[in-house]
Structure 1
């Protein structure tokens, strides 16, 4: 289970970085998610579907990250905690590299807790809980 989940997040990292550079189709990243999912953060809790709306949200997300100066997203660690034989949480530590408008670079470390389901096609993300990303960007002068 753990190796499969680590591989899932390596694919997520790769898709994200390709998206930042305009090289990935968001449809590729959609293969990482279950048909329905939940997301929770400072704004509240939302549900979504892995359909055209997810693809559009990912395109908009990549545009937003590029506008804030995002250059790369690096997977630092994945801590997997099994829930049962089909589900786990994965606390993922990320490092985002940004270039400020003055040309200087800054790295922001953050964590997201994901909920993962093991399917016949492999592990898929069915939810996540994230912190206040916009506050981190404001603190670093990026938003």
Structure 2
């Protein structure tokens, strides 16, 4: 039996328990054949001292959604995925609401993957653009 989209997202979010994703209240909210979307609330716990979203929290969201995307589109029976490089260009400040990170593949190779991650706010304003490289390595048997 195949899971519904809602059940599958619940399963993905359940896998985030006791991780950084839970600490930052990151949740998967949508996915498709070639993308994954997660959101994170912008509250004081992810602010810089001057009251705006910390770039490191944005990068953590981007790496989380990108790694999750690589993970769900990889044969996890035989491979594990690790992030190997992330870049982030922060374009706009935000102090409240939610940010959404949408990861799409620029390259989906057998060994390396490159993802474009666009981070937007509730009004679809571009907050940051990130790139994540991941690597799929064989599990030792």
TM-score of the superposed pair, with normalisation by structure 2: 0.31
Q: Larger % of helix: which?
A: 1
Q: TM-score, normalised by structure 1?
A: 0.31
